[in-house]
Chains A and B, each alone.
Chain A
Amino acid sequence: MSSTTNTSTNQTSTIGSIGTPSRRNTELALLVFAVAIPVFAYANVGLAINDKVPAGLLSYGLGLGLLAGVAHLAVRKFAPYADPLLLPLATLLNGLGLVVIWRLDQSKLLQTIKQAGTAAPRQLLYTAMGIALFIVVLIFLKDHRVLQRYTYISMVGALFLLLLPLVPGLGQNIYGAKIWISVAGFSIQPGEFAKIVLAIFFAGYLMVKRDALALASRRFMGLYLPRGRDLGPILVVWFMSILILVFETDLGTSLLFFGMFVIMLYVATERTSWIVFGLLMAAAGAVGVASFEPHVQQRVQAWLSPMNEYKLSQKGVVGHSEQAMQALWAFGSGGTLGTGLGQGHSDLIRFAANSDFILATFGEELGLAGIMAFLLLYGLIVERGVRTALAARDPFGKLLAIGLSGAFALQVFVVAGGVMGLIPLTGMTMPFVAYGGSSVIANWALIGILIRISDTARRPAPAPAANPDAEMTQVVRPS
């Protein structure tokens, strides 16, 4: 580990441990844009639909501005050296998501679906709760390494969250996927929170076990094969993912967790063999489950021939949905530049138009140009997360940051790929833009943790004499 890491650590120009400017003013300037752009978009939608600037423009603008401002002040106070891009990026995505959710609220077609007409005010509330949680993370999580102490509690917690939707009376089956629970009238997706908790568990576990996993291996056909007993954890996680797929029939969540684990395992051990193993197991698991699980088979069929699926749904055959084809039409009708906000017909997607399928509305109304900009915004968040991992000085921080960023990237890929017909559809939501409290709140917490790690990483080193390489080779154990 030491020799290879030494060279690469020296190449890392982002660390710049001494005299790092805090970049808080950069963040503030970017935030002004991140608030102004959604406000402008909001006015745009109002003008397009009702020919007048929406009445709520001022309060909406002030609300978003206030939330962003408070978040910024909290960062300034509690994480002054944090990455300056993460907060503005999340604010921009969240703000534009709110605008499009409000735009879909105006659709008469969607108003016939329960709760859909009033989604935007709820989403604003969720955003406030998300930013509150973000601030709470910054205040109470003074050092992310504290989370190491909760490695095994996290494991239990994650399992608990994942199993919640299967509890009778609590879990909800919405369009075939059992990933929601219903509490006091609110639908919650525990999987969104499990994503973060699992990342903490994996990071803590792998930090301790990585040497054993990396070094104790046999060489076979050019690959380092792990010992049988070291295979245990990966088998457990794999089995868990399969269980999610079978019992909650959710391909996305299953893929997300397994993918996150393989990424973190690879980073921890630097063994390519784990990736090979991971891919083989994922493929075997997916094919195995798909061969007997009708819900998964149907998703695959719908992906292969969305038009056929559309025709079946028009004939009223139960269990078929026109959504996939409607989403493709929405994208196609948007073309290069889009119809303009408020002028598309993505409400034809009906159910989940403002959550799982919200990207189709962006596609239709902002066009190819808009979607490319969106994907790059997500790409930037992931890139800032990876940079945070590179810059982090402790292995736990590295692992946690890459786990969260990798999961974020996988989620964006699985959701956007599903809506665009690249891979079968899954029941996950686009982070920050899609309607849904769990998603927004959990992702703000995720950004909070990344900001905390980046603050620690970029903070000027307290003891200038300390050699960062030396620190790298220490094994930090929770005492």
Chain B
Amino acid sequence: MNKPLRRIAIFCGLLVLTLLLRDNWLQYVKADSLREDTANRRVTIARYSTPRGDIIVDGSPITGSTASSSSGLNDLKYKRTYKNGPMWAPVTGFASQAFGATQLENLEDGILTGNDDRLFFRNTLDMITGKQKSGGNVVTTLNAAAQKAAYNGLKTQGGKGAVVALDPSTGKILALASYPSYDPSAFAGTSDTDATAWKKLQKTYNPNDPMLNRALRETYPPGSTFKVVTASAALENGLYNSADQATNSPLPYVMPGTTTELKNEGNIPCKNATMRIALQFSCNTVFGKIGADLGNDKMLAEAKKFGFDAQQFTPVRSSASVFSDNMNQSQTALSSIGQYNTAATPLQMAMVASAVANDGKLMKPYMIDKLQSPGLDTISQTDPQELSQPLTSSNAQILQSMMETVVKDGTGKNAQINGVTVGGKTGTAQHGVENSENPYAWFISYAKLPDGSKPVAVAVVIEDDQANRDDISGGGLAAPIAKSVMEAVINSKK
């Protein structure tokens, strides 16, 4: 009877061996994917188990962390708080116990919770010395004064809109505002109040869609502000070599291959105008014809150099701006004045102004200056990076002088600042079927001191369905906001 007994013994051994193998599979091979599974409640518990690190602007935190109410079954110890939440929401995103995290709160979750691998050594030390684990900080490039000017400007205006300000020499994002906005503190917890607040902010219940980050994620037809890109294409491709050379621009201008006239707004001196005059008065005919003359390919190539047709990672992702491919001449003409399919995020148009202001070099926009450990050591520092060079330095200077004329004598007078060199371009983009809806008011600009220091580039867009159609023009609605942002940057920098 012992032979089968031995076989049964082997069988039982195999049963145990199978379990051992399965356990190794589960707790070694699959361990990481199970542990980091977002549906695994432990991920949320870990995220809120220690005071979360802060997001820092100009040396002071714009976020905080508070002990959650310990009543009931709440297994999450700390709750996120925000200072001036609506103003900073486009930068921070949110970290909610119930609704997850977005933007910086999500992308730098590892640093903020202290679970990042780069903090491993410190965490181990803390564990040995018995110190409570805490999160690291994310130091942003933003400028509090500029952000405040941007947000308050939009709020006073009252319509939907967004502002982006960049440092042209480095690509640092100085302001990133969107309106209407939301307070991420309102739904940071798990209570019923939080759930109600969350529900109210959703697009289904709130047509204004306050949770949309318009500065990065909404694309608008850029209208006349796109003429800056068209002018660069003309200069770069040698179509015209100076700002003051007369262009070959008939008026009225019938778009090639069609019988449709391309119209200007009002009776402005556009016939064979120089590019300077054309930009000053915002001539559709001149820039439409430049686009048609250059053709789709050359226009597209230039637009791409400015960052069109690509997402930007700041590291928060922006939507890709659009300049279409495979267009005929008349479509290219329309696209070259910022109509037809052309669409741009506010970030994209700020990048256009920034590249011109930085003598043709486009710097990669970024908003994280550095990551700090809980002990405030720098873990990583972002170095400015050149993205492309859409213009040569000399062509950039020609374009600068044109944009400065716009502010000095043209449609952008509202952005003038005493003692500061300001260049800009207004835009009024039509949208809706048969232009039935109110247009968007655009203003892109840059400013720097006469010696070239303290540069700043800004893009402002406002979609105002309350204002009269006639009132909407980039110069009237958007330029004053751009001006206050530029002033804030110039006055606040040391």
Contacts and interface: CB of A to CB of B under 8 A. Distances in A.
Interface residues of A, number: 57
Tell me the dominant secondary structure on chain B's binding face.
helix
Contacts of B8: 263, 266-267, 386, 402, 406
Interface stretch (A17-25, A129-137, A326-334): A326-334
Contact of A332 (B2, B3, B26): B26
A268 B40 contact: no
B5 interface: yes
Interface string A307-326: 10010000000000000010
B205 interface: no
B35 A335 contact: yes
A308 to B, nearest CB: 12
| Residue with the greatest number of chain A CB neighbours at <10 A, chosen from B27, B37, B41 | B27
A157 interface: no
Contacts of B58: none
A325 B42 CA distance: 13
A112 B72 CA distance: 10
A458 to B, nearest CB: 16
Interface stretch (A53-61, A281-289, A370-378): A370-378
Contacts of B1: 1, 5, 267-268, 270, 395, 398, 472
A106 interface: no
A410 interface: yes
A367 interface: yes
Interface string A421-459: 110000000000000000000000000000000000000
A376 B16 contact: yes
A255 to B, nearest CB: 12
Contacts of A79: none
B18 A420 contact: no
B24 A108 contact: no
Given A368-B27, A409-B15, A413-B18, A4 B3 contact: yes
A386 B73 contact: no
Interface in A8-63: 8-9, 11-12
B98 interface: no
Contact of A405 (B12, B26, B27, B73): B12
Given A266-B8, A329-B40, A383-B9, A335 B27 contact: yes
Contacts of B28: 335-336, 368
28 contacts: A8-B3, A11-B2, A108-B75, A109-B75, A267-B5, A310-B39, A325-B39, A329-B37, A331-B26, A331-B31, A332-B26, A333-B42, A335-B28, A335-B35, A336-B31, A345-B41, A363-B26, A368-B27, A368-B28, A372-B23, A375-B16, A375-B19, A382-B12, A383-B13, A389-B5, A402-B5, A406-B12, A421-B22
Interface of A: 1, 4-5, 8-9, 11-12, 108-109, 112, 263, 266-268, 270, 307, 310, 325, 328-329, 331-336, 345, 348, 363, 367-368, 371-372, 375-376, 378-379, 382-383, 386, 389-390, 395, 398, 402, 405-406, 409-410, 412-413, 416-417, 420-422, 472
Interface of B: 1-9, 11-13, 15-16, 18-20, 22-24, 26-28, 30-35, 37, 39-42, 45, 73, 75
